[in-house]
Structure 1
Amino acid sequence: MMLPNILWLSLGMANLALARPTNQSSLCEIDMNPNIDDIRFTSYANLVKSARLSSGHRYRYVFKTPFNSSIPTLLFLHGWPETSYSWVNQIEYFTRHGYGIVAPDMLGTGGTDNPDDLESFTFKRTASEMVELLECEGVGRVVGVGHDIGSGQLSRIENYYPDRLSALAFLTLGYSPPGTDFTSATIDASDQASRALFGYPLLQYWHFNAEDRAPAIADQHLDALYNIAYGADVNYVRNISEPGALEQWLLADGRIFFYNEFLTEVTLDQWRTIMLAQGGMEGSFKWYRAMMRGYNTADEQALMASTDPTVTKRSLFIVGDNDPLAIPNLQLNQTTPYLPYLTVRTAPTRHFMQAEAARDVNRHLHDFLRGLEN
């Protein structure tokens, strides 16, 4: 990954101390001016920092304090194949409305470090790093907002650090109760069930994503990956659902229509710029390797044995009514038993709703946040 520009090294330890929040751990080093060459033309570039945590990992993240102490801070956790850039429409909107923002590039993505070991990509370890990042900035409780793999990360922050979340919002993928373990065996079992129910395996592409050779193929065919992820064709799942289909799509440089108000050639160019500048997609695929190869298994078993899966906080779940991967009814059936104070909303979108239907997502999330005041 790209090495950050360590401003504090050139300015000296005195200036480093001034840049740090007063309650910050001595092991947390905040760089107020990280390398942002890849996101320089985004609307939030002036809000970006980086911080080295006690693990040694450096995270790049968007940070904005709330307009006043009565307005909450939102922690945005993205999925795959994304970075904090996937939240650009939410960062713009909620910043205008005075909310605090913490939106990290998750481990291995964007300007955040890409460690070699897969142990670093477990949900337990990364949950602790998200909490430490909040502590670095002196942020207490937040409203967590997760999408895709970020929803799994949000679930584990709630399970391990429930005092850090005041409310939870899930996009497309719902709550993952303790014991949820996406190993190769569980993915195969899920695909057998989904083929019987829906006519196609929902998660077969995970097998390709977990292969060591997948990042190099994706890096050589980034536009095809963007098209299949964000394309407007609701039947696109046929291109990735069967064994080997995603790889074949990439190698053929497949294309489908993806333009709308928020997804344009410019957003494709920006996404591609981030991926290429940060050394490609190697790090983002490690999340799949860690899951599929059982690196979360021991943690999930221990958590299931020790933790009440019920979340008694107010929660929001926005489902995409055209999502062919996170099927709304299936997701709701898996989520609602554990979240008794759940609000459900629907957006006219497929999987990447924060980009595909930004206005709907922002409206639903803002309504939910206003409701927390009552």
Structure 2
Amino acid sequence: MELELDGHAVYAYTGGKSFDASLPTVVFIHGAQNDHSVWGLQSRWFAHHGCGVLAVDLPGHGRSGGAPLPSIEDLADWIELLLERVGAGETAKSVSLVGHSMGSLTALECAARHPARIGRIALVGTAVPMPVSEGLLNAAKNNEAKAIAMINTWSHSPRATIGGYAVPGIWHMGASRRLAERQHPGVLYNDLTACNTYAHGLEAAAALSCPVLIVSGSKDMMTHPRAAAKLAATLKDVRTVSIEGAGHIISEQPDAVLDALRAFIVA
């Protein structure tokens, strides 16, 4: 699905079905240096089971134009503008937001700033706050290839580094690296800085009244499950799912992620 927002082209994958704003809407929000393609399995399932799906390319990512937005707050407001543009969420609380990593912070902030449309949010691979080491920030700014290699190593579970994938012929580490390399120069540093400087996530969490799902990989080295504990304690209505053996990259165990989302959103 291609449209224009604030004078820039926007792309959102709709899961193989035409987007219908009259259906319950599920918005999938990718993480740093990624695009809509990370949600392939999950977006298709919801699109074929009674939901209108928008797996977005955030500004400056993938097939969406414009510059990458510099803050989580800006990203949250952009999601609200997109929902308004496509006519989603006109029935109160009919939109579910699903975000991974940077996308999880965006979903959290959007639900806090624009609660009228948002019925529930799912935060995958999340931590609040989400600090980024100085070494990784410096690499992202001055040697992007090195930063991508660092993230790719830390984002996968130990098993994933040697294979062991459910789908024959898939090499997740190679695919993840290539996805990151496809993004424009400077996007990674922008995204990591946005995560690092997002300072009031716990305040946003405390303001929420909608149900929240936290999905963590037990082997996540980027956003360790312990880092989500304070967030979970702050939320009023929260459930948590730990995916045993999974790292930060959701494509390692896509079925388990889908099962958690189905149980939360469809129920």
TM range, smaller chain: 0.7 to 0.9
Structure 2 unaligned blocks of 5 or more: none
1:322 aligns with 2:227: no
Tell me the secondary structure at the aligned position of residue 163 of structure 1.
Answer: coil
Q: Is the deviation greater in 257-266 or in 124-133?
A: 257-266
Give the corresponding residue for 2:188. Answer: 284
Structure 1 residues without counterparts, runs of 5 or longer = 1-48, 188-201, 237-255
The reply to whether residue 233 of structure 1 matches residue 185 of structure 2 is no
> Secondary structure, in 3 states, of the residue corresponding to 2:153?
helix
Deviation, structure 1 residue 263: 8.4
1:131-150 matches, within 5 Å, as 131-140=80-89, 141-150=94-103
Task: State how many pairs are aligned.
Answer: 261
Q: What's the CA shift for 1:144? A: 0.6
How do residues 195-214 of structure 1 correspond to structure 2 at under 5 angstroms?
203=133, 205-209=135-139, 211-214=140-143
Conserved in 2, the CA contact under 8 Å of 1:114 and 1:283? Answer: no
Match 1:80 to one of 16, 25, 32: 32
Name the amino acid aligned to 1:228. Answer: T
CA offset at residue 290 of structure 1? 4.3
Residue matched to 2:61: 109
- The reply on whether 1:100 has 2:52 as its aligned counterpart is yes
How far off its partner does 1:109 sit?
1.8
Query: Does the alignment pair 1:257 with 2:153?
Result: no
Deviations 1:239-284 (A, max 9, x none): xxxxxxxxxxxxxxxxx42450258546666656655555x45323
Amino acid at match of 1:282: G
SS in 2 for 1:51: strand
CA RMSD of superposed structures (Å):
3.4
TM-score scaled by structure 1? 0.60
Matching residue's letter, 2:187: G
- Whether the 8 Å CA contact 1:263–1:356 is kept in 2: the answer is no
Whole-angstrom CA distance in 2 between matches of 1:291 and 1:317: 17
Task: Quote the offset at 1:79 in angstroms.
Answer: 0.9
What letter matches 1:347 in structure 2?
I
Are 1:163 and 2:92 an aligned pair? no
> Among 206, 209, 214, which residue is 1:309 paired with?
206
| Alignment check: 8 A CA contact 1:148 1:171 kept | yes
Q: SS in structure 2 opposite 1:108?
A: coil
- Determine the C-alpha separation between the residues in 1 that align with 2:194 and 2:239: 32
| Residue aligning to 2:238 | 342
Q: Does 1:365 align with 2:249?
A: no
Instruction: Work out the CA distance in 2 between the residues paired with 1:136 and 1:328.
Output: 35
Residue of structure 2 equivalent to 1:197 = none
Q: Which amino acid aligns with 1:342?
A: V
Is the 1:232–1:258 Cα contact (8 Å) retained in structure 2? no
What is the rounded CA distance, in whole Å, between the counterparts of 1:272 and 1:321 in structure 2? Answer: 22
Give me the whole-angstrom Cα distance separating, in 2, the residues matched to 1:102 and 1:135: 13
Change (3 A) 1:108 1:229: farther
The Cα offsets for residues 134-185 of structure 1, whole Å up to 9 and x where unpaired, read as: 12211114101111111111111012111121111111215x4xxx5x6xxx
SS at match of 1:337: helix
Structure 2 Cα separation of the partners of residues 215 and 124 of structure 1 = 25
Give the superposition deviation at 1:324: 2.5
1:206 is displaced (CA, Å) by 3.6
Aligned AA (1:145):
V
- Per the normalisation by structure 2, the TM-score is 0.81
Choose the corresponding residue for 1:130, options 72, 76, 79.
Answer: 79
More relative contact order, 1 or 2 (CA 8 Å, 6+ apart):
2
Paired position in structure 1 for 2:43 = 91
Larger radius of gyration: 1
1:76 is paired with a residue whose SS is: strand
Distance 1:156 1:263 in 2: 38
